[in-house]
Amino acid sequence: MRIVPRNYVLAAVLVALGAAHFVPKGEQRPQREVVRLAPELSLESAHRIELRGAGRNVTIERAGEATADRDAIGNWVLPELFGYPADRTLVQLVLARLAELSTLDLLTEDPARHGEYGLAAGQGQELVVRDAQGRALIELAIARSAAGAAFVRRAGEAAVYGAGALPTTSSDVQAWRRQMSLLGLEARLVRRIEFSGPALAAPYVLERGENRIDRWRDGAGRELPKDAVERIVREAVEIYPERVLGPGVEVGATGAADSPLAAGAWLHITAQSFDGNEASADVAAPPEDGLVPAVGAVGPWLLGVRRTSLERLKTRLEAL
């Protein structure tokens, strides 16, 4: 069989293309190595978090060794809030995400572009995590876009990285406190609850029946409407502080004239649970505006609660 001349040409082209495939190409950009931004950071190694931004500072410190008891107050405290417990779940989530940060999502290495990501000098938020010896495990500048995307840059470095999984790290210390109710009890576990003080014309005692826990009676043994009482109990145990106002105060203590509870409690609440726990809270007379000072069962702190919560509770009691 005779080979057509043009087939020689096609064969030569195929051979050339095949050879070119195996010949090393010109200069190529070397593959970038991806590493963690904080290789020594872990939930165990972190002992202190420092945040600076928007003219505010937040410090979160480990209060002791880690514990498996999830019902304890927690292992992290807020020195700027007089040692009030921090939200351990939030702290651990932030630390876990910081430990996972890597150089994978490189956005720029050009310092001239830092402003595009809110990370130019004087911008963003500074975050430092330290170990038990005070050594920095990670130092970052953090910024967020209007859409919530997070950008980070290690201190002293030009590279900016995306950090999409990083939770919000607020510079408001109140955002880091643990959410604990004034009494610290669950409504379904309350066996008896008592309200007294100048806020009420007379004390109110609400107690479950001995044989029927779905029935309630007052101090005189009179049966009370179940739905109305359970609404009161639920609202009483679900009074949550809006802010931590100051260190602990002793109700009626002498020499504490500047304390809102120096003259005694305007409303006193005591509750007992089926498991034998007892909790109490003292509330000061409501101010003309702002939050109502109170001291609860969660510890020695002066807390601010909503006036509307107390007024609603008082109205429901008087309607029984």
> DSSP assignment of 57-115, as one string?
EEEEEE-SS--S-TTSS-SEEEGGGTTEEB-HHHHHHHHHHHHH-BSSSEEE--GGGGG
Q: Torsion-angle region of residue 103: left (phi > 0), alpha (psi -120 to 50) or beta?
A: alpha
More confident position, 16 or 267: 267
Mean pLDDT of all residues in 167-186: 94
10 Å CB burial of residue 254 (0-12, 13-18, 19+) is: exposed
| pLDDT at site 178 | 94
CA–CA separation, 89 vs 67, rounded Å?
A: 13
User: pLDDT tens digit string along 140-151?
Assistant: 999 999 888 999
| pLDDT at site 276 | 87
Mean pLDDT of all residues in 310-317: 94
More confident position, 280 or 287: 280
3 state SS of 188: helix
CA–CA separation, 231 vs 176, rounded Å?
A: 30
Contact 144, 170 (CB under 8 A): no
10 Å CB burial of residue 312 (0-12, 13-18, 19+) is: middle
Instruction: Kindly report the pTM of this predicted structure.
Output: 0.81
Q: Give the model's confidence band at 8: pLDDT under 50 very low, under 70 low, under 90 confident, else very high.
A: very low
Look up residue 183 and give its two tokens: 């009494």
| pLDDT at site 264 | 85
The candidate with the shortest Cα–Cα distance to 242, out of 302, 189, 170, 284, is 302
| pLDDT at site 211 | 72
User: pLDDT tens digit string along 35-57?
Assistant: 999 999 999 999 999 999 988 99
- The one-character DSSP state at 123 is -
The candidate with the shortest Cα–Cα distance to 128, out of 155, 162, 156, 157, is 155
Please give the distance of CA 99 from its chain centroid, rounded to a whole number.
18
| pLDDT at site 16 | 47
Q: Comparing 13-17, 108-112, 165-169, 279-283, which segment has the lowest mean pLDDT?
A: 13-17
Q: What percent of the chain has pLDDT over 90?
A: 70
User: pLDDT tens digit string along 242-279?
Assistant: 999 998 777 766 555 567 888 889 999 999 999 888 99
10 Å CB burial of residue 10 (0-12, 13-18, 19+) is: exposed
Q: What is the mean pLDDT of the chain?
A: 86
CA–CA separation, 38 vs 100, rounded Å?
A: 8
10 Å CB burial of residue 80 (0-12, 13-18, 19+) is: middle
| pLDDT at site 199 | 95
Contact 231, 224 (CB under 8 A): no
More confident position, 212 or 277: 277
Residues pairing with 143 in the sheet: 151
Give yes or no for residue 182 having a pLDDT over 60: yes
| pLDDT at site 205 | 97
More confident position, 192 or 261: 192
Mean pLDDT of all residues in 125-131: 97
The candidate with the shortest Cα–Cα distance to 48, out of 56, 59, 64, is 59
